[in-house]
C-alpha cells in the first residue's frame, strides 16, 4: 500500500473570476457542492437489496460583503445579471501553474440589507451547468490528464 502525502491549503489568496472580473476581494466563501441522489430498495429476502446513485448536480455557494456603493461590485453584478449564464473560474491558491476550477453558473441575486452596526453580508447558491471542470495548472494551452 502506498502512503499518499497530503498538502492542505489555507484559503487566503484566491481568484474568483466571474465573466471577466475578479471578485475575490468581495467574497469570504466560495464552495462547489455536488448533490448525488440515491435510491434504496429492500425486499423480504436477505439477498433482495438494491442501491443505486443518480447523476450528480452541482451548485456554487458564495458568501460576500454587500457593496451597493461601488458601481461594479459583486452585489450590483448579481442583481443586474440575475438569470444569466456566466463563466466562473475559482482558483483556491492564486498564481500561475496552480489548479483552478471552471464552471458555467446561472447568476442569482442576493439579499439587500442586514443588521444594525454590522457589515451587511449576503449568500447565494448558483446552479452549475454540468460539473466544475478542473484545470490542474490553470493554463488553457495545456491539456489536463
Q: Is the pLDDT of residue 38 over 80?
A: yes
pTM of the model: 0.88
SS3 label, residue 18: strand
- pLDDT the model gives residue 137: 86
Task: For CA atoms 126, 132, 134, 138, give the dihedral sign.
Answer: negative
Q: Is the pLDDT of residue 121 over 80?
A: yes
Which of the residue ranges 66-80, 98-112, 128-142 would you say has the lowest mean pLDDT? 128-142
Q: For residue 145, name the pLDDT band (cuts at 50, 70, 90).
A: low
Taking phi over 0 as left and psi of -120 to 50 as alpha, with beta for the rest, 95 belongs to left
For residue 67, count other CB atoms closer than 10 A to its CB.
Answer: 17
SS3 label, residue 59: strand
Burial of 110 (0-12, 13-18, 19+ CB in 10 A): buried
Architecture of the domain delimited by 15-135: Beta Barrel (2.40)
Amino acid at each position: 500500500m502506498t502512503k499518499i502525502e497530503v498538502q492542505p491549503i489555507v484559503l487566503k489568496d484566491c481568484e474568483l473570476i466571474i465573466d471577466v472580473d475578479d471578485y475575490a476581494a468581495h467574497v469570504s466563501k466560495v464552495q462547489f457542492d455536488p448533490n448525488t441522489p440515491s435510491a434504496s430498495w429492500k425486499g423480504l429476502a436477505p439477498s433482495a437489496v438494491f442501491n443505486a446513485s443518480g447523476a450528480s448536480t452541482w451548485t456554487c455557494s458564495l458568501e460576500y460583503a454587500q457593496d451597493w456603493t461601488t458601481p461594479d461590485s459583486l452585489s450590483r453584478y448579481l442583481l443586474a445579471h440575475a438569470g444569466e449564464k456566466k463563466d466562473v473560474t475559482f482558483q483556491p491558491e492564486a498564481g500561475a501553474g496552480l489548479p483552478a476550477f471552471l464552471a458555467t453558473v446561472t447568476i442569482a441575486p442576493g439579499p439587500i440589507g442586514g443588521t444594525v452596526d454590522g457589515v451587511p453580508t449576503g449568500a447565494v447558491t448558483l446552479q452549475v451547468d454540468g460539473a466544475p471542470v478542473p484545470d490542474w495548472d490553470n493554463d488553457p494551452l495545456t491539456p489536463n490528464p
